[in-house]
Structure 1
């Protein structure tokens, strides 16, 4: 048996000690909301902390309670949490209710063909940068969730199959549709698009998923690998 060691905790840095470009608001502006942690997103929403408890630490303390517990509490109960005033308590309740409504609507979405996928995806793409989005479906082709997997530049976006399949495993999805846009070009696949699709098909088969389609969108048209018989 080795000698007992004193417990070592990782150092917590207050928000003032974090480089400015890595603070929640600046990080969201630079990298996009999808790359922020739950604590960072909540910190952006709350805006500020209290004396002796900065907003990032307040967010961490709240999330230790868990979203389910926060959802159960009414405003008066949230006011008992140290550091929460009425405005912040109302912000949390509004955030949770909005999230519930979004998830409820998403669960009602069925995607049965490329046209329905395109209709859903239209407002999910960045107009100036290639965006790779994955849709995760159950056995009845109901949408479980979607994710912006990668954001590139005007001409290219790079991702790996594992970037797409990680969430599919988490959701126990059955089918996957991937889509990306060509902001400045035609809705036609490049050799790289075809190669990536072939790799993803193989990875899906190994893990028991079905790649239902790969859709490429341009400003006025779309290309479906399924409709064209490539998948």
Structure 2
């Protein structure tokens, strides 16, 4: 099938012209993606390619596409290494913008819902488990976020010693643990509960309070503080 060139489309249907005339907010997801892709394939123009890619990434569409790895992107017909890297960078840029906005609106990190929003887009699609340590000062503002470990589903490898050495290094007064469940279900396991109790006791001995342990799932979270466990 011979593709229809973009210049053959009516002016109001061309993403670049539509953006210039009406602003980027007027563009559909497919039109925005077509602008990012810039070119199509031998059989598709960039808009047709964008529509097909979004259809193949249902039900999440654009969000699902942005969370694919480079090898996964390159498995999609029409996406080579360069386009794949460009899409990865766009996804990373959007995540950084989102985190910057959330962080600016959450100067004090005490609310579990807002903290989970800060991490949600980064962690809810991860196929491996990660444990992050938020280190806070006396005003509960964030000093530093450190990745403690990645790639295991067994939290027993996260020792209090490793975590609190990091907290002491940055003179944290209190800490919050964040980790994800790749299954998408944030319900705590027995190991999660055991580790939380262990960290609370260790922190009390060192004078560094464990404020919360938040588990990130798919558009859901579990807070030990909200549930009255901490």
Instruction: Using structure 1 for the length normalisation, give the TM-score.
Output: 0.51
* Equivalent-residue separation in structure 2 for 1:204 and 1:170 (angstroms): 14
The CA RMSD over aligned residues, in Å, is 2.0
**How far off its partner does 1:192 sit?**
0.6
**How far off its partner does 1:185 sit?**
4.0
Q: 2:108 aligns with which of 95, 106, 110?
A: 110
Partner of residue 205, structure 1: 204
Partner of residue 120, structure 1: 118
**How far off its partner does 1:201 sit?**
0.6
* Equivalent-residue separation in structure 2 for 1:147 and 1:209 (angstroms): 16
Partner of residue 11, structure 2: none
Q: How do 1:4-19 residues align onto structure 2 when only pairs under 5 Å count?
A: none
Runs of 4+ in 1 over 4 A off after TM superposition: none
**How far off its partner does 1:124 sit?**
4.2
Partner of residue 192, structure 1: 191
Q: Secondary structure at the match of 1:223?
A: strand
5+ residue gaps in structure 1? 1-101
**How far off its partner does 1:220 sit?**
1.7
**How far off its partner does 1:152 sit?**
2.2
* Equivalent-residue separation in structure 1 for 2:187 and 2:133 (angstroms): 18
Q: Secondary structure at the match of 1:229?
A: coil
Instruction: Using structure 2 for the length normalisation, give the TM-score.
Output: 0.51
Give the number of equivalent residue pairs: 126
* Equivalent-residue separation in structure 2 for 1:109 and 1:146 (angstroms): 14
Question: Does residue 1:131 correspond to 2:130, yes or no?
Answer: yes
Distance 1:123 1:161, change over 3 A: farther
**How far off its partner does 1:183 sit?**
1.1
* Equivalent-residue separation in structure 1 for 2:160 and 2:195 (angstroms): 8
Question: Does residue 1:230 correspond to 2:219, yes or no?
Answer: no
